[in-house]
A and B are shown apart, each in its own frame.
Chain A
Amino acid sequence: MGGSLGKMVAVTFLSPAFLWSLALLLPLAALFLIRVKPRARPTTAYFLWERLKPENRPSHLLRRLRDLFSLLLLAAAVTAAALGLADPRGEDEADTRPLLLVIDQSASMQRRLADGRTLLDHASEAAAGWIRALRGGRQAALMSVDSDLHQQARLTAHPPELLRALDQVQPGGLPLDEAVLAEFAETALASEESRVLFFTDAAKNPSLPEGLECIAVGPAGERPGNAGLVAADLAPSLTLNGAATLLARLVHDFPQAVTGRLELSRRDEAGGESLIRVLPLRLEPGQPRRLVEEVPEAEPGRWVLRWRPDAGADALALDDAVDLVLPAPRPVRVAVTGVEPFFAQQAVRAFASERGTLQVVTDAAQADVILSIGELAAEPAPGPARLIFRPEGDSPWWAEAPGAELDTPLPLLLEPEHPLLRFLDAASWDFRGARHLRPPAGSLVLARQEGDETPLIYLARRDGSRVAVVNLDPVASGFYLSPAFPVLVRNAALALAGRDETLPPQLRLGQRLVLPTEIPGEADRWTLETPAGAVKARAGAVVRVHDAGFYALPEADWTAGAALLAAGESISVGAAEKGALSPQPAGLGGRPWAWWLGLLAVGVITLESMLYHRRRVG
């Protein structure tokens, strides 16, 4: 016996008052007995009937049993209906924790399987089974997750509400952000008062909390393969004038080698496409494919790269195209003023060849940014942007003339993440030659003297002009010779010219796009053009990239393409472990007992109706 007789299942009724309807059995049985008593039919040829239908013992017994059987059927139908109305629920005393059902809504769930349904359809079906199996007032909530967590239904014990919410879950195009899921699961599981079920297409990532129960969905067996672009970039060529370099990376999960082609097309203003290059490819099983290709005479603008398999379509179309932008070369023109401009000019030239980021000009009137060292020449405002080292004399860019030098400059970084300080460790700089001064009102101080309010690096804006002031003597401190000097010049030139490189050349779906904090011109909000339309956004706002297509900030002269570009969405990971990860919901077929009892009652009544029909009309 194994020491156990099995788990006893306690049953409760949500509507026990309906059990009184079982009392109907008595009058129904009486009516039945009256009803089944057949009417006497006299015949003058009884002996002929005996010859036609000889009565043997089994048929006689069967006829008697048939009447009894009909009565039992009627009783069974009434009992089933009464029990169904009473809504029986098994009471699983071991686990009454609320269920938190999380549907994987990421792009990979759009994969269409051999049965024509998507993985999301299967996930919804599996979740519906759990919802229908809710019993004993057990509560559940429904959420979906892609790059964000979306609450679909609050915690409730009302299955129809959950099912309605489940119907609202639509396939998303964003990749799954497991960090979001992990954070939610950790919070939900912390008190051990909830059970979190995650319906997904892949095996559980070990980094997810242990208590999170992953339920792999989709039919067992081989899934249709998929190949997708997970990285792509189009940039001006470093070696050929007028050419561009295409970089692409494909992954796939086909069990066999597949062939196809990459098609690179140029998009015109009207949205039309001109096919420029076709690159045949053969993808070997288990091997991603990386491709670098020079595209001569590539015009700046919008491009699109498409993967087209030779034999039909693959399982996911979302990762088969990437929108690209080839930026036009537009260097920031930098003029150097003041004594000893050589080192400063060399610093600018160091980035002149890097995709044409910077360009040295001698005429300050043509410059976008002027690099000044020492006292400034008087200029009517608004003037060009300036990067000022060793501030001296009177200037509107500091409140009063700089005072004495600081004895021991000790920098304290206030905004270490500012683009001006990107790739730099300003805390280690030697700020020798820094002088006491006071920044103008409204300045953004990036670093100041430790224990003092003396700014060491700050940004100021006035009448449309912007300056960056670095309060040190590059000669005395040897900053000219520091590798940080050209980097600082580059960062400052781009930031002051409004070419903030925090804007990426390529966007991934689900990525958070941080808009620059500085808006060129007088506008107080960015105009962000997205595939879904233009939106206004404040400076420094964080925008989620939701749609594939082109995003642009006209004020910053920036355009980037957005695509899925997520290897985890393009290929199946661990789907083979599905069987081990699929706990079945309690209940018969995932449906409540009331459903089955109702079905039983209908079936029994149908059967009894057939018998009754036969009794009545033969």
Chain B
Amino acid sequence: MKGALTSPAFIRRLESLHLLARKVLGGRLQAQRRSTRRGSGVAFADYAPYYPGDDYRAIDWRVLARFDALLIKLFEVEEDTTLHLLVDTSRSMTAKLTRACEVAAALGYIALHHHETVALHWMEDRLRPALEPGRGRARVWELLRTLESAEAQGADTDLLQCARQLHSRHRRRGLVVVISDFFCPEGYERALSYLTWAGHEVFCLQLLDPADLTWSWLGDCDLTCVETGSHRRLTITQGDADRFAEAIQNWNAGLERCCKDRQIGLAATDTRAAFDHIVLDLLRRGGLTAATEHRG
């Protein structure tokens, strides 16, 4: 992946994607994200009784004239939100890592061009910070270079551990995009619950390889886990292969159910799709903003 994300061709595709995103979103993906904290924003939120010390400029004089009540107008605080890109770099993502980085690059590119704060994390058996939160278009180049350096390593993906570490390092709530295949032996439910409990807006992008969905080898084999290296000898029959495909389907259906229950946006795709199509489709469906608006 050396140089793939910083090549002029890729940059041009990102730029095109950014323009398309603006057209698709119509400016909705602004950095101004409404906060439940009320303060000096521009969006009216509520009235409150005046107390000494409050800003005179907030007194609604019309209400005073009409009802003889001294009330002040409250406005929602507009604050910049950090986009946490959690890219699964465990060994199970070896075949999917390029596509995952491309998608992450596109999302990060769009976010930075919209003055969002973007942070990048590698997700394995633990969370590894790859790019500290920062904003501004100037960080695009750093983001892309960092993504280019990604390589699959580490042991089993531990989503819960990663979620805990993210929360411990970044107390401020933000938008968390998890790009992974979600093949986690310990499961994904607790990790996603943890992230939502921590106040993050979570979006899951499940990236799969077509070979992950079925099992074509029959007979004796030394089944090896790509992440831990564990292996065991098995004789796999056609029935086993069918049951495996069914188990994969159930696993993915469980993820979908879990996300739906927690009002988490989910998009599942495979590596055959181009990254810009994935991102554009994601934006068209309002995946990233839907959750935000819902929570707002």
> Judging by beta carbons under 8 Å apart, are B224 and A43 in contact?
yes
Chain A neighbourhood of B228, CB < 8 A: 46
Which candidate, A34-42, A72-80, A155-163, is the interface stretch facing chain B? A34-42
**Residue of A37, A53, A614, A615 with highest tally of chain B CB at under 10 A:** A53
Q: Which residues on the A side are within 8 Å of B227 (C-beta)?
A: 44, 46
Are B230 and A51 in touch, CB under 8 angstroms? no
What separation, in Å, do the CA atoms of A39 and B224 have in the docked complex? 10
Cα distance A617–B218 when bound, in Å? 5
A184 at interface by CB-CB < 8 Å: no
| A616 touches B (CB below 8 Å) | yes
When the two chains form their complex, are residues B223 and A46 in contact, meaning their CB atoms are under 8 A apart? yes
Instruction: Give the nearest-CB partner of A44 in chain B.
Output: B92
Q: Are B234 and A49 in contact, with the CB atoms below 8 A?
A: yes
B79 at the interface (CB under 8 A from A): no
Q: Tell me whether A616 and B220 are in contact in the complex, defined as CB-CB below 8 angstroms, given that A45-B212, A48-B247 are known contacts.
A: yes
What string of 1s and 0s marks CB contacts (under 8 Å) between A2-39 and chain B? Answer: 00000000000000000000000000000000001111
Alpha-carbon distance between A55 and B230 when the two chains are bound, in angstroms: 13
Is the CB–CB distance between A617 and B219 below 8 Å? yes
Q: Binary interface profile of B, 123-145, with partner A (CB < 8 Å = 1, else 0)?
A: 00000000000000000000000
Partner of B222, one of A41, A55, A614: A41
CB distance from B146 to the nearest CB of A (A): 24
Q: Does B44 reach chain A (CB closer than 8 Å)?
A: no
Kindly identify which residue among B181, B185, B224 contacts A41, using a CB–CB cutoff of 8 Å.
Answer: B224
B-chain residues with CB within 8 Å of residue A614 when the two chains form the complex: 219, 235
The distance in angstroms between the C-alpha atoms of A42 and B212, with both chains bound, is 11
A41 engages B92 (CB within 8 Å): no
How far is B233's CA from A502's CA once the two chains are assembled, in angstroms?
Answer: 95
Q: Give Cα A48 to B224, complex, Å.
A: 12
The CA-CA distance from A36 to B233 in the complex, in Å, is: 11
Known contacts A45-B183, A46-B228: does B244 contact A615 (CB below 8 Å)? Answer: no
Interface code A578-618, partner B: CB below 8 Å = 1, 0 otherwise?
Answer: 00000000000000000000000000000000000011111
Contact A42 B220 (CB under 8 A): no
Question: Counting CB contacts under 8 A, is B62 at the interface?
Answer: no
In this assembly, does A94 line the interface, its C-beta being within 8 Å of a C-beta of chain B?
no
> Smallest CB–CB gap between B222 and chain A, Å?
5
| Contact A616–B230 (Cβ < 8 Å) | no
Chain B nearest CB: distance from A25 CB in Å?
23
The answer to whether B226 touches A615 (Cβ under 8 A) is no
Say yes or no for A52: interface residue by CB 8 A criterion. Answer: yes
A43-B224, A51-B247 known; A615 vs B235 contact (CB < 8 Å): yes
- Contact partner of B223 (CB less than 8 A), chosen from A49, A615, A616, is A49
| Number of residues on chain B facing chain A (CB within 8 A) | 35
Are A42 and B235 neighbours in the complex by a CB distance under 8 Å? no
B251 at the interface (CB under 8 A from A): yes
Between B183, B235, B243, the greatest number of chain A beta carbons within 10 A of the residue's beta carbon is seen for B235
Residue B47 at the chain A interface, CB threshold 8 Å:
no
A55 vs B223: C-alpha distance in the bound complex, in angstroms?
A: 12
A618 touching B92, Cβ below 8 Å: no
Question: Are B244 and A52 in touch, CB under 8 angstroms?
Answer: yes
CA distance A618 to B237 in the complex (A): 4
Is A154 part of the binding interface, using a Cβ–Cβ cutoff of 8 Å?
no
CB distance from B208 to the nearest CB of A (A): 9
Query: Contacts A46-B228, A48-B251, A51-B247 given: A38-B238 contact, CB under 8 Å?
Result: no
Distance between Cα atoms of A616 and B237 in the complex (Å): 10
Cα separation A47 to B90 with both chains bound (whole Å): 15
Chain A: CB-nearest residue to B250: A48
Question: With the chains together, A212 CA to B223 CA distance in Å?
Answer: 71
Q: Does A63 reach chain B (CB closer than 8 Å)?
A: yes
CB <8 Å contact, B212 and A38: no
Closest B residue by C-beta to A38: B220
B225 beta carbon closer than 8 Å to chain A:
yes
Given contacts A43-B223, A615-B220, A617-B219, contact A52 B232 (CB under 8 A): no
Nearest-CB residue, chain A, relative to B236: A618
Contacts of B221 in A (CB 8 A): 38-41
**Contacts from A to B (Cβ < 8 Å):** 36-49, 51-53, 55, 63, 614-618
Show 13 residue pairs from A and B whose CB-CB distance is below 8 angstroms, ordered by the A residue: A37-B222, A39-B221, A39-B222, A41-B222, A41-B223, A46-B223, A48-B248, A49-B223, A52-B243, A63-B233, A63-B235, A615-B235, A617-B219
Given contact pairs A41-B221, A617-B219, a sample of 17 additional A-B residue pairs in the complex whose CB atoms are under 8 Å apart: A36-B220, A40-B221, A40-B224, A41-B217, A41-B223, A43-B225, A44-B212, A44-B227, A45-B212, A45-B244, A45-B251, A46-B225, A48-B183, A48-B244, A48-B248, A52-B243, A52-B244
Query: What 3 A-B pairs come out closest when comparing CB atoms?
Result: A46-B225, A618-B218, A618-B237
